[in-house]
Structure 1
Amino acid sequence: MALNFHQLHIFYTVADRGSFSAAAGALHMTQPAVTMQVQSLEDYFGTKLLQRSTKRIDLTEAGKALMPYARRSIELIRDTDQAMSTFTRQLKGKLQLGASLTIGEYILPRLLGPFGMEFPHITISMKVINTAQIMEDILNHQLNFGLIEAPVNHPDMHMEAVMSDELKLIVPKGHPLAGRTDVMLDEVADYPFVLREQGSGTRLVMEEQLKRKNIDPADLKIVMELGSTGAVKSAVEAGLGVSFLSASSVKHEVALGLLHIVPIHNVRFRRQFYSIYLKSAVLPISAVTFLTFLRERDLQQWL
């Protein structure tokens, strides 16, 4: 019998999840099939890798020694897929991903067209939901991976920056700041604000930058908090206040003259967008190809 990656992946998932049943669910296999593959791996090495009990599974000394090599094999397969995806043009398959609101509504729609032209045989299924829902669906194996607007910390998740973005000050037509080529941040803070809800990626980035400039976000005149970028744009357009939003999300309104972007002196609200997926997962080649596309292309040409 030869050592194979499939068995190493199953062993790593069992050890990582702490039970055969949890690993079976994660790998979409039956529990007896998972058990059989681990036993085959133990037969290959001639030693026990897992110590089974009624309540839990523990690694033996041999299992502990094998774990870093199993982890590296998963990472190597991932890296191999990423390297070879550049040369693959006849891929087939379904890409299932989740995207947080700004990314899913305003960023990805402009990128999926160019991606589809380059990889026409990959079909895409995208859920536009908040970060917490994306993480839940990934953990429940309903999504391959997600794209989110702010970093998260979860022991089972791999996170990587794949795109950059910048928030801009937007004001309505006829606003005193409209047409200005430069304003001071202190001056902006005196106006009423319409903002995304607490906890949104856009709100977090804005608040962190304000704190760096010694402005307490709690001191802003917040007249309205809304749950979507579209609602914020409409409120600003109606003259209810000013806001900070992704430049990509207001491209249409700025072109029509309904909203104006006003530069702020010596202040940039830059941020990263992140991909997240399970550490124990081997992404399908369609997902690897899409993430490689995001990393390696000049995305600004489409945004």
Structure 2
Amino acid sequence: MAINFHQLHIFYTVAEKGSFSSAAQALHMTQPAVTMQVQSLEEQLGVKLFVRTTKKIELTEAGRELMPYARRSIELIQETESAMASYCHKLTGRLHLGASLTVGEYMLPRLLGPFNEEYPQISVSLKVINTTQIVEEIAQHTLNFGLVEALVDHPDMQSDAVLSDELKLIVPSGHPLAKQTKITMEDALSYPFVLREKGSGTRRVMEEELLRRGVDPRGMRIVMELGSTGAVKSAVEANLGLSILSQSAVKHEVALGIVQAREIEGIRFTRSFYAVRLKSALLPMAAITFLEFLRERDLNKWL
């Protein structure tokens, strides 16, 4: 039995979309053509794959059994295309991507340039929005996937770690701590702090690590809580306080000698960024290629 991959793809899309009309729209086909291909697959397999009613369609037991095999077949074809495209770099498409603040403003812009050099025919549309909005737009199929600062607890979403990051103590270049070769947490706590707002990913990583080290974050003298990393950086530059931020976020300021990014003895603030996507959706080749780029390249030379 030689199963037609094109028909298998159409069957899978109908099952995912829940109707022949929606599948036809997604596949850029006419509805009668979609129906005919599914019927042809049913005839070839000798089973009914869908139960059709006037209002909806449902998978039969045979259809439910076929679904994971159809998905695996489609994913294998996509992986094959991606592997071959990496040799000729002629992969085309449009990537619709969402990202939370730190990764979207400070990390991705430095990675999209090298990615574009390698895959010039893939165009990227990037939205920098919060995690809740990213999840909503992925569910609505507006975004292919998103990059966020924490695991997403949602029954329809899958989260995979793809990027790592480290937070550092940020001090103005003329600050007394900038002259010390070693800085302890006790040293840092003797000065005021300017931090991101409560609930932000950056703030949460800092507080959780301090608690693990037996340091109560409530002991910090916080003089300002600001809603953006840019505002925090400006406050540190103005010598209003110290902060703890992603080293990627202050790369430019460190290079200019405006601030210093220093380690605190015995404490490392590390975190992962996660790619979140809809479990039931198949990623387009542009999205698969970009995720492979993030996983397989040495990103440190750009970040």
TM-score, length-scaled by structure 1: 0.85
Give the letter for the 1:106 counterpart: Y
Contact 2:19 2:56 in 1 (8 A): no
Per-residue deviation, 1:239: 2.2
SS class of match (2:152): coil
1:63 to 2:66 alignment: no
Deviates most, 213-222 or 265-274: 213-222
Unaligned runs of 5+ in 1: none
- Structure 1 residues 72 and 233: CA distance shift in structure 2, 3 A: same
Per-residue deviation, 1:14: 5.1
Per-residue deviation, 1:188: 2.7
Q: Which residue of 2 aligns with 1:294?
A: 294
Give the letter for the 1:200 counterpart: S
1:273 to 2:294 alignment: no
Deviates most, 19-28 or 199-208: 19-28
Distance 2:286 2:145 in 1: 11
What's the CA shift string for 1:10-60, capped at 9, x where partnerless?
Answer: 54455556x328964994668946655544443332223344567876543
Q: Which residue of 2 aligns with 1:253?
A: 253
SS class of match (1:147): strand
Distance 2:175 2:189 in 1: 14
Q: Which residue of 2 aligns with 1:170?
A: 170
- Structure 1 residues 62 and 120: CA distance shift in structure 2, 3 A: closer
Q: Which residue of 1 aligns with 2:19?
A: 20
Give the letter for the 1:249 counterpart: A
Distance 2:25 2:98 in 1: 18
Per-residue deviation, 1:198: 3.1
Q: Which residue of 2 aligns with 1:205?
A: 205
Distance 2:74 2:199 in 1: 33
What's the CA shift string for 1:117-142, capped at 9, x where partnerless?
Answer: 22223322222222222222222122
Per-residue deviation, 1:230: 0.7
SS class of match (2:154): coil
Q: Which residue of 2 aligns with 1:220?
A: 220
How large is the Cα RMSD of the aligned pairs?
A: 3.0
Deviates most, 279-288 or 8-17: 8-17
Contact 2:20 2:31 in 1 (8 A): no
Deviates most, 101-110 or 176-185: 176-185
Q: Which residue of 1 aligns with 2:237?
A: 237
Unaligned runs of 5+ in 2: none
SS class of match (1:177): helix
SS class of match (1:207): helix
Distance 1:285 1:228 in 2: 33
Q: Which residue of 1 aligns with 2:149?
A: 149
Per-residue deviation, 1:167: 0.9
- Structure 1 residues 21 and 189: CA distance shift in structure 2, 3 A: farther
Distance 1:130 1:80 in 2: 33
Distance 1:25 1:228 in 2: 43
Contact 1:21 1:31 in 2 (8 A): no
Contact 2:156 2:279 in 1 (8 A): yes
Give the letter for the 1:150 counterpart: A
Distance 1:107 1:267 in 2: 23
SS class of match (1:87): helix
1:93 to 2:93 alignment: yes
Distance 2:109 2:259 in 1: 21
Between Structure 1 and Structure 2, how many residues are aligned? 302
SS class of match (1:95): strand
Give the letter for the 1:84 counterpart: M
Contact 1:13 1:280 in 2 (8 A): no
SS class of match (1:86): helix
Distance 2:292 2:25 in 1: 24
SS class of match (1:178): helix
Distance 1:243 1:97 in 2: 29
Give the letter for the 1:286 counterpart: A
Distance 1:82 1:135 in 2: 26
- Structure 1 residues 8 and 277: CA distance shift in structure 2, 3 A: farther
Give the letter for the 1:96 counterpart: H
Give the letter for the 2:178 counterpart: A
Distance 2:160 2:24 in 1: 25
SS class of match (1:79): helix
Give the letter for the 1:101 counterpart: L
